Structure 1
Amino acid sequence: MPHTVTQARELGDLLRSRRERLQPSDVGLPPGTRRRTRGLRREEVAQLASISATYYAFLEQGREVRPSRQVLDALAAALRLDVCERAHVHQLVHGAPPEPEQTSAAMETLPPAVVSLVDRLDPCPSYVTGRHWDVLASNRAARVLWTDWPARPPQTRNMLWWMFADPEARRIVVDWEEEASALLGRLRTAAARHPGDPGFADLLERLHAVSPEVRAWWPQHKVDTVGSGTKRLRHPELGEFTLHHVVLQLADNPEHKVVTCTPSPQDRPRVEALLRRPRPTP
């Protein structure tokens, strides 16, 4: 059932108000005669949503019933709810909006403004990862300290692939085993939120094929969460240094995570000196 009686009543009020604002012609129904109520009749909404008129009446009355997501989507279509209204009814009933209906390509496409933001954060190393930890954007500082992501083949522009399949990662990441194990735990946590997502299955299959650590660690069922913290990296000119990183989720797509880093106070002068060097002339 909805989380509270108040939420059930709010759902009923919302459905009623949206029913009353529609006319039969708006949804392809004949106008009929002797229409004593504003907008559509309850039975007409029920017919459009392929549910019983009694069940729909219970919803409008604020009864403590819990319609499925499929029923809510059918009602959203019948009542011509917009994207925000559809998400709101799902939130009221199920405590969370539905998964966005997007293609894989759309889910992993960043708005140009986000790419521009990451570039403007330079010389603070910053990058954006997607649902499967593909690196979707990175600024010059991040490319100097990690790897040149845009220059890599598309299937290898992935933080997990770089960590486990690229020998360079073991040289750059000081605490490689700890960092790699935690990253694999975050992958497991994310995959559990999206059962059946072929992107996770494909990535795991490729990682198992190339990494003995993945083959050994995955059966241990370690889980971890995304969060802020510290990273210790190694650079040929700087030696070892520490970065403090913050992880932000984009409101438009929480699967997109912006990671931005600042050097620790003792490492800041030499790290920033390297990162502020003029870009080489092509």
Structure 2
Amino acid sequence: MLDSLARALRLTDDERVHLYSLARPTRTRRPAALAPQRVRPAVYRILDTLAETPALVLGRRTDVLAANELARALYVDFEALPRHDRNMARFTFLDPRARSLYANWQAVGHAAVAALRLYAGRHPHDPQLAELVGELSLRDPDFRRWWAEHDVQRRTYGAKLFHHPVVGELRLDYEALAVTGDDEQTLGIYTAEPASPSAEALRLLAAWGAEQPLPGPLGTRAPRVV
């Protein structure tokens, strides 16, 4: 029946997955809290080897679990933020730097909401999701409007346009790769076309990021994001 309904409505693959999630029988008892996510040491080493390209690990609710130096230079130093704020949706909607960083902020914001909607279909009773959605709905009218549209989308690859305050315009292609061992961790890697202005901007961004003071007391690196 669900297959017939999905075909009749011409649902996308992501919308079909969301429909199946919503159709699952709900438990009468609230499920136990989800266990905290951990990033394996080998995944941290992968991030460190990708020194010439921004890379980060996203978890449930678009939580930023880890980010290499160039990703922190591109976005924000997630390791220096309170743990509560290490979330890509919070950055997109609540950090004023995001609206000028993304050349097409509305498209990025709408995609972030659609990704959260897809996650909500799998974990409708996640208390941290309810807190996040409630906070964003209260503080941002765009989020509130897009959340009410019930669009769903899984971000797997594409391109993003940035206007970085230090190095200017960048066009970066991104790939979202599944991290084995935790199907709710995604390794996001951003690359620039070789020999392009964006590749040169990334090189300059890496040099600028390396010159910035390390977060933490007395110039020490803050603990790894886990």
TM score, norm. by length of structure 1: 0.60
Matched residue, 1:251: 180
- Aligned pair partner of 2:124 in 181, 192, 195: 195
State percent identity of aligned pairs: 33
Cα distance, 1:273 vs. partner?
A: 3.3
Native 8 Å contact 1:246 1:261 kept in 2: yes
Displaced runs of 4 or more, over 2 A: 101-106, 276-282
> Relative contact order: is structure 1 or structure 2 higher (C-alpha 8 Å, sep ≥ 6)?
2
Unaligned runs of 5+ in 2: 1-30, 214-218, 220-226
Instruction: List per-residue Cα deviations over 1:65-103 (Å, max 9, x = no partner).
Output: xxxxxxxxxxxxxxxxxxxxxxxxxxxxxxxxxxxx996
Cα distance, 1:279 vs. partner?
A: 2.3
Matched residue, 1:279: 210
- Aligned pair partner of 1:232 in 161, 165, 171: 161
SS in 2 for 1:142: helix
Distance 1:261 1:128 in 2: 12
Matched residue, 2:74: 145
Residue 65 of structure 2 corresponds to residue 136 of structure 1: yes
Matched residue, 1:163: 92
Distance 2:179 2:156 in 1: 14
- Aligned pair partner of 2:113 in 175, 178, 184: 184
Matched residue, 1:104: 34
Distance 1:278 1:142 in 2: 9
**1:278–1:233 Cα change, 3 Å:** closer
Cα distance, 1:276 vs. partner?
A: 4.1
Native 8 Å contact 2:55 2:67 kept in 1: yes
SS in 1 for 2:57: strand
- Aligned pair partner of 2:144 in 215, 234, 238: 215
Distance 1:102 1:270 in 2: 46
**1:278–1:271 Cα change, 3 Å:** closer
Distance 1:278 1:251 in 2: 30
Cα distance, 1:264 vs. partner?
A: 2.9
Matched residue, 1:154: 83
Native 8 Å contact 1:185 1:221 kept in 2: yes
SS in 2 for 1:279: helix
Distance 1:187 1:274 in 2: 30
- Aligned pair partner of 1:121 in 25, 50, 73: 50
Aligned length: 181
Give matches, 1:76-115, under 5 Å.
Answer: 104-106=34-36, 108-115=37-44
Cα distance, 1:200 vs. partner?
A: 1.5
Over the aligned positions, Cα root-mean-square deviation in angstroms equals 1.9
The structure that has the greater radius of gyration is 1
SS in 2 for 1:174: coil
Distance 2:183 2:124 in 1: 17
Distance 1:103 1:223 in 2: 24
Distance 2:135 2:193 in 1: 35
Q: In structure 1, what residue type is equivalent to 2:101?
A: I
SS in 1 for 2:148: helix
Native 8 Å contact 1:230 1:245 kept in 2: yes
Cα distance, 1:258 vs. partner?
A: 0.3
Distance 1:264 1:204 in 2: 36
